[in-house]
Structure 1
Amino acid sequence: MLVEFRVTNFRSIREEQCLSFVATADKTLDETHCIATGSSAVPKLLRSAVVYGPNASGKSNLIFALITMQTMVLTSTRLLEPQYRDLYTPFRLDDHSANQPTEFEITIMLEGVRYQYGFAFDAECIRSEWLLVYVANKPQRWFEYHYNTETGQKDWEPFSAYFKGNRKVWMENTPPKALFLTQASQSNSAQLLPIFNWFARDLIVLAGPFEVNLAPTFVKLAEPHYKEWVLKLMNAADIHVSDIKVEKRKGQHLQLKFEPGKPLETLAFDGEVPDVEFCHQIDGGSPVWFDRRFESYGTQRLLGYSAPLLDAIENGKVLVVDEFDTSLHPSLTRYIIQLLHNPNLSKKGAQMWMTTHDTSLLDPNLLRRDQVWFVEKRAQQTSELYSLTEYSPRKNEALERGYLMGRYGAIPFLTEFLF
């Protein structure tokens, strides 16, 4: 489960920003919207967090920061030099920040144990990396190092006695631009592998309202219980589809070829490409199949969401979606949030972090006050993330009206434009 995510000096984010899933002491909707952790330090975590803000405020940059962290954890030992440098995107509107490291830190809970992991990096190397483990309230510092600019070497803190394995070998085999967590996990560190696997399997991030990726859904549709669940979801959303099938058609596979010093190439290969067909049927009529040219973008987007959504609910994963409401009716967005909040369906503690412009979700019957976050662009064009709880709204306050009136900030300031 995700406890909190912190980021410093990344794109429009200059100062440290923190998105937290730690529930406040508020008892509102406690049984449905919170997950009991069994930890006295963090007794309850929220099932969802919704982030609002005007266009270009930095909502997406928070998610890009998480994607960058995930990418580095999973691939840092095999990144090419240009690929590594492309991941370093600091705040560039002041000379100091433009040359300072970017820093990420994430806190997660696995099997009742809290892990606090982070690292800092720039275009040259990993500047620092650390891992604190809370088996009890007192942390165990399993590893930590800082890059020494004078010696060109890493200064390591003593390893914790609780951290076992070939620590010296893993340390010596970690290149300057690679993470120790990645190297040790890929070298079969039994203690670090669960953290690596959380990034690989339990964190699902869908960035931006781009072309819907139906490939995960195509794979899942081969499972009868999943196909039944998708059809129920679509019909519950008032999309009348009686059946779905995946057909293979002749088409082209696209592949990106990247070589250092050369422009990016797109290679095309002829072959069979999977595609989806939807069956519609009226009472007493024959079934009629349509390919996706005849289905709305919203229908396709919901189908694309269905695989990661079911995966998260069934297996207790974290689903992060940028602009979740794109092409979806507000009632459907509300319905999906309610699925995540239903403890009878989401039995393994699934969580969701979404950005949205749908203000109808600002309903005290749907979201607790500590689930609502805002991002605002400050005077120096830096992004600031803050919680609705900072404004101490009343329990029955009209949150949507207050937000649109500017009571909580994070709205665009529009000026008259004359042709």
Structure 2
Amino acid sequence: MQTGKRLRKFQDSNTVMSQDEQLLKSVLVFGANANGKTNLINALLMLKRLVINPTTDELQHLRVDTFGYNTENTSFQIVFTEDEVKYDYCLEYNATEVVREILKANGQPIFTREQQNFVTVPAQLAALTENIRKNQLLLYFAQQNNETHAKAVYKWFVEDLIFVNTDRIRNGRFKILQNAAFKRRFLHFLQAADFNIIDIEVKERKEAIPAPEFLMKKLKADDDESDEDIKFIPSVSYDVYATHQSENGTFSVYFNNESTGTKVFMFLALYMLNNSEKTLMIDEFDRSYHLELAQALLALINDKYQTNQFILTTHELSLLDAGLRQDQIWFAEKNRFGETELFSIFDFDDPALKRGDFNYKKRYLEGVYGANQLVNKKLLLEALIGNEQREKK
């Protein structure tokens, strides 16, 4: 999300200042299918889960997802700002132990760990290092023991790094529409995008569900227990209904029965209107709605009054020419080892390839930037027809 040096285009809208450094408000990752666009988001999600979901004992394995059964260590490094402090967090580990872990705040080391050798630790943790397991993140342990910087970093992972999962839209997200002021903004947003929705109703549905501890006991038990032995706890679900306007009057539609495009747009609207200064990740950003709507959303994302950052993957090539800087346009492409490489238009040495007065989509389709889908139409047809049909012809 760092800006390209000496690049002035859309500086007042598509970038934001943070800790005296200019950063991008959004990046779009293009590329062929199965070239690793989604894995960029998956990697960030995996790091988030490692931080916020600790191991509970020394026998539990740390989460790994290595490529091609690779047995080498997994490593991450992420730099971000929280509470006006620039943090740099490094983690190297494997399934059984943390190999290396470093946290810096504004360039100053907060802790440094090499396996079970704690080179640098905050004073309040100095007497507790023997309590840290080899498969336990020091970051989690530190925040649990009230270390200020570790708490800020943990908070960023929990609250500020957000995956907008449009594959699993949870109706519970819509409970914020019970706030009348937010609901008015939300409806205005939908109507501005040419959706004929004039009202939203969120209904609470109370029900009793089996207690989690009972379910675990049930799974482990050899004998069946009667339903009378089940312990139930109260739970609240939310049903969402949208009122549509038509020439024949109004009608109500249950949210799950809306078109996929409408559901995705409503879901995105919740996140965009209810967050500020967050990092939001959206896979297949353009999915299920019209190009003009995707372009309008992208313009809104890059507007100077919008304060979130967005990491977006997309197959919609027309967005290449939708008011983006060269450093906002990224490509994912697999090398000859099957590993994904990421690069932006700004990375190209040839200045002619970076000029903003040319059609980026046209260049991409011509193969100038690589990262495109190489389809052998002749072989596809041969597979469709089959050997016997080809011989007859």
Is 1:325 matched up with 2:301? no
Mapped to 1, the partners of 2:189 and 2:57 lie a distance apart of: 39
**Corresponding residue of 2:120:** 158
Q: Deviations over 1:90-130 (max 9, x none)?
A: 1226xxxx111111110002243211101011111111100
Report sequence identity in percent.
27
Is 1:76 matched up with 2:40? no
Is 1:30 matched up with 2:6? no
Q: Give the 3 Å change call, closer, same or farther, for CA 37–293 of structure 1 in structure 2.
A: closer
1:20-419 matches, cutoff 5 A: 20-39=1-20, 43-78=21-56, 81=59, 84-85=61-62, 87-92=63-68, 98-134=70-106, 139-147=107-115, 154-159=116-121, 164-207=122-165, 210-216=167-173, 218-248=174-204, 273-282=237-246, 286-312=249-275, 315-344=276-305, 346=306, 349-363=307-321, 366-391=323-348, 392=351, 393-415=354-376, 416-417=379-380, 418=382, 419=384
**TM-score if structure 1 supplies the norm length?**
0.79
Query: What SS does the corresponding residue of 1:32 show, helix, strand or coil?
Result: coil
Q: Give the 3 Å change call, closer, same or farther, for CA 28–258 of structure 1 in structure 2.
A: farther
Q: Give the 3 Å change call, closer, same or farther, for CA 171–306 of structure 1 in structure 2.
A: farther
8 A Cα contact 2:243 2:250, kept in partner: yes
Query: What SS does the corresponding residue of 2:148 show, helix, strand or coil?
Result: coil
**Corresponding residue of 1:10:** none
Mapped to 2, the partners of 1:308 and 1:292 lie a distance apart of: 17
Mapped to 2, the partners of 1:272 and 1:200 lie a distance apart of: 23
8 A Cα contact 2:169 2:267, kept in partner: yes
Mapped to 2, the partners of 1:34 and 1:326 lie a distance apart of: 25
Mapped to 1, the partners of 2:209 and 2:266 lie a distance apart of: 21
Mapped to 2, the partners of 1:354 and 1:170 lie a distance apart of: 41
Query: What SS does the corresponding residue of 2:185 show, helix, strand or coil?
Result: helix
Q: Deviations over 1:347-379 (max 9, x none)?
A: xx310001011111111x511110011100122
Structure 1 unmatched runs, 5+: 1-19, 148-153
8 A Cα contact 2:171 2:238, kept in partner: no
8 A Cα contact 1:309 1:319, kept in partner: no
Q: Deviations over 1:233-289 (max 9, x none)?
A: 211211110000112458897999679x98xxxx9x897642211112246x64322
Q: CA deviation at 1:191?
A: 2.5
8 A Cα contact 1:324 1:356, kept in partner: yes
Q: Give the 3 Å change call, closer, same or farther, for CA 271–190 of structure 1 in structure 2.
A: closer
**TM-score if structure 2 supplies the norm length?**
0.84
Q: Deviations over 1:181-216 (max 9, x none)?
A: 111101111222111101111111135x52323322
8 A Cα contact 2:19 2:81, kept in partner: no
Q: Deviations over 1:125-149 (max 9, x none)?
A: 1111001222xxxx212211112xx
The structure carrying a bigger helix percent of its residues is 2
Higher Rg: 2
Structure 2 residue identity aligned to 1:174: I
Structure 2 unmatched runs, 5+: 221-229, 385-393
8 A Cα contact 2:83 2:152, kept in partner: no
Mapped to 2, the partners of 1:48 and 1:294 lie a distance apart of: 31
Query: What SS does the corresponding residue of 1:221 show, helix, strand or coil?
Result: helix
Structure 2 residue identity aligned to 1:371: Q
Mapped to 1, the partners of 2:88 and 2:196 lie a distance apart of: 46
Mapped to 1, the partners of 2:208 and 2:298 lie a distance apart of: 37
Q: Give the 3 Å change call, closer, same or farther, for CA 47–280 of structure 1 in structure 2.
A: same
